[in-house]
Amino acid sequence: MQARRIPDLKEGRRHGEENFPIMAYRLSRQDSFSVLDCHWHDEMEFFRVMDGSVSVLCGAEPMEGRAGDIFFFNSGELHAAVPESGQTLDFEAVVFGADLLCAPMKDSVREKYIAPILAGTLSTPRRIPFGTPENLTISEALDAVLPLIYSRPPFYELSVKSRMLAAFVSMLEYSGAPRRTARSPSTAAGIKTAIGYIQENFRSPISTEELARLAGMSQGHFCRVFKQYTLRTPVEFINNIRLSHAAQLLRDPGLRVLDAALDSGFNSVSYFIEVFREAFGTTPSKYRKAL
Residue 85's CATH number: 2.60.120.280
Q: Are residues 27 and 78 in the same domain?
A: yes
Q: How many Cα atoms are found within 13 Å in the side-chain-facing hemisphere of 168? A: 22
- Radius of gyration, CA atoms only, the chain: 20
Same domain, 79 and 103: yes
Cα 11–207–192 angle (5° rounding)? 20
Q: How many domains are there within the chain? A: 2
In a domain, 207, yes or no: yes
For residues 164 and 219, membership in a common domain is answered with no
The answer to whether the predicted template modeling score (pTM) of the entire model surpasses 0.85 is: no
Letter for the amino acid at 48? R
Q: Which of 174, 207, 230 is the last residue of a domain?
A: 174
CATH code assigned at 262: 1.10.10.60
pLDDT in tens, the chain (291 residues): 333 333 343 445 556 688 899 999 888 755 445 568 888 999 999 999 999 899 999 888 889 999 999 999 999 999 999 888 767 788 999 999 999 999 888 899 999 999 999 988 888 899 999 999 999 999 999 999 999 999 999 999 999 999 999 999 999 999 776 666 655 557 888 999 999 999 999 999 999 999 999 999 999 999 999 998 888 899 999 999 999 999 999 999 999 999 999 999 999 999 999 999 988 889 999 999 887
- Domain assignment present for 107: yes
The C-alpha atoms of residue 285 and residue 241 are separated, in whole angstroms, by: 19
Domain that holds residue 142: 22-174
